[in-house]
Chains A and B, each alone.
Chain A
């Protein structure tokens, strides 16, 4: 199955299982398979297997000795030695056969070589793609090229998770940090995979020329804008700044994705549907990330500055304006906890 994938990495790993161990030792051609045969080679590995083997061999020897002891005393050592060696060889062969079967099954199902070609990038390429993801290209009459790699998008998703966690650095969030961490990871990965799949499905309906891998890569690089905006606005808590960045940076990366999709779709209705959906989801996600995880800081600013709430900027909350300072954290926590619970329940 793995060898049907066109890339050379897949084909190379399928070239003869008995040479699999050798291939791993040669530089550059190393298979990414967690090769159980070579797991023994690193010292300390699978000691339990060795211990088991040793135990089994000893049991075999004990059995052979016990059997030999029943025979006459006139038996010379050669015969007993021969029997012991035979049983040892049989045990060894059984062990080898079983291990070979297990490792073959394992390498068939756990072959991560399938993903290897998508990680074949250079740092310079990643850098240039990151910068290009912020630059919308005007040429929409000719299908634009999308790099089909997964390293950049994956790292951007993880970076987004890290930035979200960093955004909760105020001390009152740490009490729920475990759940928040799971929520952050789930949100980011859910967005990346879920929205990619949804837009791919829409693209299929609208006859757009884009593959799933390209969609994943496109959306992944689109998260670069989100990372920048959130990183800046989590450190500088100004609402006006956030809206400016939301429009500017978020808008740029959305425009880029939209331009790529438009260049690959035919027909105004289809273009509108596809790009409208993507733009809406992308911009709304940034808004959501900012507000859902920003509430704690807002709450603290609220109680410190007093209830001068500008219209349509802050979510009304149930924190009374007059509170002794010592009781603020608990109440803010409650609001945050409630917000998190609501978010979790709605998922």
Chain B
């Protein structure tokens, strides 16, 4: 699927500020003036269709989208106070991560008692409904972030936990025992902390300053549940 967003993102940094850009300074917290197209009116998008991205080859599109996703992964792995995830949000990354995690958490054995089927759906539903709940909660608390931006950030911040899942899977190839468990516990705890720090770096600025803790707490619970699922996974 072609995405004009990338070209607009790149254009946005070099072209003169669009018409209502001044409004974005009012709406976001004062420390970090957000640049870019959070409040761009529709008009400025139409001009991008002259350089249509629908005509390019599929490979170009896919490579561009993958690069965008990869860039955001880097932002999550090294969380700084940046607005890339908020500005050019997309849901491809969260989808890839969610599907990967759900596939890895699936039981490998097909037993009458242990049905591998529901695991995928459970993980999927928990991740997406958890993210929606957190987003609704942060909006109700007076947050200044759009629905999909929040979903994007929460989804991307699952990346450390997906890495933890990979590591756990590898560790589980070795013989089981308390050492095995301690290693996995340590990895999961570190990645859990990383996820929370990453999502806090992105989400905290959109909340009113005295309510940051109220908005971060459900994020903590959400990643805790996912970490629990990862930690207690054993293939049989």
The interface of chain A, by Cβ under 8 A from chain B, is 25-28, 30, 32, 34, 38-45, 47, 50-51, 54, 57, 112, 115-116, 118-123, 126, 151, 154-155, 158-159, 161-162, 165-166, 168-169, 171, 173-179, 181-182, 333, 337
- What's the dominant secondary structure at chain A's contact region? helix
Extra inter-chain contacts (18) besides given A39-B148, A123-B210, A123-B211, CB under 8 Å: A25-B39, A27-B27, A28-B142, A39-B146, A40-B42, A40-B45, A41-B39, A41-B41, A44-B5, A44-B90, A47-B4, A54-B54, A165-B225, A171-B232, A173-B232, A178-B122, A181-B122, A181-B225
Are the C-beta atoms of A42 and B218 separated by less than 8 Å? no
In the bound complex, residues from chain B placing their C-beta under 8 Å from that of A50 are 4, 45, 49
Are the C-beta atoms of A27 and B26 separated by less than 8 Å? yes
How many chain B residues touch A (CB < 8 A): the figure is: 63
Are the C-beta atoms of A181 and B126 separated by less than 8 Å? yes
For residue B123, which residue of chain A has the nearest CB?
A178
For residue A40, which residue of chain B has the nearest CB?
B42
Bound CA–CA A30/B27 (angstroms): 9
In the bound complex, residues from chain B placing their C-beta under 8 Å from that of A54 are 49, 52, 54
Are the C-beta atoms of B114 and A175 separated by less than 8 Å? yes
For residue B52, which residue of chain A has the nearest CB?
A54
Q: Determine whether B57 belongs to the interface, using a CB cutoff of 8 Å to chain A.
A: no
Identify which of A32, A41, A51, A182 gathers the most chain B CB atoms within 10 Å of its CB. A41
Bound CA–CA A169/B89 (angstroms): 36
Q: Mark B36-49, 1 if CB is under 8 A from A, else 0.
A: 11111110010001
Are the C-beta atoms of B142 and A30 separated by less than 8 Å? yes
In the complex with contacts A162-B224, A162-B225, A181-B126, A44-B232 CB distance below 8 A: no
For residue A115, which residue of chain B has the nearest CB?
B140
Are the C-beta atoms of B218 and A155 separated by less than 8 Å? yes
Q: Mark B137-161, 1 if CB is under 8 A from A, else 0.
A: 1011110101111000000000000
What are 6 A-B contacts defined by CB distance under 8 Å?
A25-B23, A43-B89, A50-B45, A122-B210, A159-B221, A178-B122
Q: Determine whether B73 belongs to the interface, using a CB cutoff of 8 Å to chain A.
A: no
A201 CB to nearest B CB, Å: 27
Q: Determine whether B217 belongs to the interface, using a CB cutoff of 8 Å to chain A.
A: yes
Bound CA–CA A47/B211 (angstroms): 33
Q: Determine whether B9 belongs to the interface, using a CB cutoff of 8 Å to chain A.
A: yes
When A and B form their complex, which 5 residue pairs have the shortest distance between CB atoms, in order from nearest?
A44-B5, A119-B140, A178-B122, A174-B232, A43-B5
For residue B90, which residue of chain A has the nearest CB?
A44
A339 CB to nearest B CB, Å: 14
Are the C-beta atoms of B122 and A121 separated by less than 8 Å? no
In the complex with contacts A32-B139, A174-B233, A179-B113 CB distance below 8 A: no
Q: Determine whether B234 belongs to the interface, using a CB cutoff of 8 Å to chain A.
A: yes
Are the C-beta atoms of A27 and B144 separated by less than 8 Å? yes
Are the C-beta atoms of B218 and A158 separated by less than 8 Å? yes
Contact of A126 among B28, B54, B118, B214 (CB under 8 A): B214
A286 CB to nearest B CB, Å: 20
Q: Determine whether B64 belongs to the interface, using a CB cutoff of 8 Å to chain A.
A: no
In the bound complex, residues from chain B placing their C-beta under 8 Å from that of A176 are 114
A231 CB to nearest B CB, Å: 13
Bound CA–CA A115/B142 (angstroms): 11
In the bound complex, residues from chain B placing their C-beta under 8 Å from that of A333 are 113
Bound CA–CA A118/B140 (angstroms): 9
Bound CA–CA A177/B214 (angstroms): 29
Bound CA–CA A45/B45 (angstroms): 11
Q: Determine whether B62 belongs to the interface, using a CB cutoff of 8 Å to chain A.
A: no
Are the C-beta atoms of B119 and A44 separated by less than 8 Å? no
Chain B, range 127-145, C-beta contacts under 8 Å to A: 136-137, 139-142, 144
Q: Determine whether B32 belongs to the interface, using a CB cutoff of 8 Å to chain A.
A: no
Bound CA–CA A154/B133 (angstroms): 11
Are the C-beta atoms of B137 and A119 separated by less than 8 Å? yes
B158 CB to nearest A CB, Å: 17
Bound CA–CA A41/B40 (angstroms): 5
